[in-house]
Amino acid sequence: MKLFRTKNLHYKLVSYIFLAALVFIGVVTFISFRLEINHANQKAEIMINQLMDTVEGTAAIAVYANNSQIAKDVLDGLLRNDVVNKAVIIGDEGLLLEKIKSKQDNKKEIIRELRSPFGDNKSIGQLSITPDTNFSLSEARYAAFSNAINAFILIGLTLLFMLLVIRSLFSKPLIQVSNTLRNIIAGEQERIEPLENNKNDELGRLVVNINKILDLLNTKLSTQQILRKRVESVEKKLRNIFESTSAGLFLLDKEGNILTCTPTLLKILGYEDNHLIAINGQDFATLFFKEPLQFQQMMQTALELEQLEAQDLMLHNNTEENPLWVHCLLSKIIDSFGIIRFEGVIFDISKRIATEKAIQYEANHDALTGLLRRNVAELQLRKHLASANNGSTVVLILDLDGFKKANDTYGHDAGDSVLIETARRLESCVRHNDVVCRLGGDEFLILLFDCTPITTGFSIAEQIIAAIQMPVAIDAQVTITVGVSIGISVFPVHGSNVEELLKSADEAMYEVKRKGKNGYGIKNKNGTIAVNRPFAKK
Partner 1 sequence: MIGNLNGIESLSFTQVEKIFMGRSYALPNGQVANPVDQSTLRTEFYEKLTSKPIEQINAYWAQIVFKGLNFLPLLSDDKEVLTIINSNKNTIGYIDKKNVNNRVRVLLILN
Chain residues binding partner 1 by CB under 8 A are 58, 61, 64-67, 69-70, 73, 93, 117-120
390 burial level (CB within 10 Å; 0-12, 13-18, 19+):
middle
Instruction: Pick the closer one to partner 1 by CB: 67 or 390.
Output: 67
Instruction: Pick the closer one to partner 1 by CB: 61 or 79.
Output: 61
Q: Is the dihedral of CA 463, 469, 472, 477 positive or negative?
A: negative
Q: Is 368 helix (H, G, I), strand (E, B) or coil?
A: coil
Q: Of all helices (H) and strands (E), which one includes residue 487?
A: strand 483-491
Rounded Cα distance, 401 and 468, in Å: 10
Rounded Cα distance, 533 and 516, in Å: 8
Rounded Cα distance, 228 and 351, in Å: 43
Instruction: Pick the closer one to partner 1 by CB: 74 or 482.
Output: 74
Instruction: Pick the closer one to partner 1 by CB: 65 or 159.
Output: 65
Shortest distance (Å) from residue 118 CB to partner 1: 4
Cβ partners under 8 Å of residue 153, min gap 6: none
523 burial level (CB within 10 Å; 0-12, 13-18, 19+):
buried
Shortest distance (Å) from residue 47 CB to partner 1: 25
Shortest distance (Å) from residue 70 CB to partner 1: 5
Task: Assess contact for 468 and 484: CB atoms under 8 A.
Answer: yes
Task: Assess contact for 486 and 519: CB atoms under 8 A.
Answer: yes
Instruction: Pick the closer one to partner 1 by CB: 64 or 289.
Output: 64
Instruction: Pick the closer one to partner 1 by CB: 76 or 306.
Output: 76
Task: Assess contact for 437 and 372: CB atoms under 8 A.
Answer: yes
Instruction: Pick the closer one to partner 1 by CB: 124 or 406.
Output: 124
Rounded Cα distance, 334 and 342, in Å: 8
Question: How would DSSP label each residue in 289-348?
Answer: BS-HHHHHHHHHHHHHH-S-EEEEEEBTT--SSS--EEEEEEEEEE-TTS-EEEEEEEEE
Minimal CA–CA distance to 295: which of 333, 344, 335? 344
Q: Is 248 helix (H, G, I), strand (E, B) or coil?
A: strand
Shortest distance (Å) from residue 48 CB to partner 1: 23
Shortest distance (Å) from residue 145 CB to partner 1: 43
Shortest distance (Å) from residue 67 CB to partner 1: 6
- Angle subtended by helix axes 9-64 and 68-79, to nearest 10: 170
Minimal CA–CA distance to 381: which of 497, 223, 289? 497
Shortest distance (Å) from residue 65 CB to partner 1: 5
Shortest distance (Å) from residue 124 CB to partner 1: 8
Instruction: Pick the closer one to partner 1 by CB: 122 or 405.
Output: 122
Rounded Cα distance, 73 and 79, in Å: 10
Instruction: Pick the closer one to partner 1 by CB: 60 or 509.
Output: 60
Shortest distance (Å) from residue 71 CB to partner 1: 9
Shortest distance (Å) from residue 97 CB to partner 1: 13
What is the side-by-side order of every strand in the sheet holding 435-440?
372-373, 435-440, 443-448, 393-401, 483-491, 520-523, 529-532
Instruction: Pick the closer one to partner 1 by CB: 118 or 142.
Output: 118
Residue 113's φ and ψ, nearest 5 degrees, are -70, 135
Instruction: Pick the closer one to partner 1 by CB: 91 or 344.
Output: 91
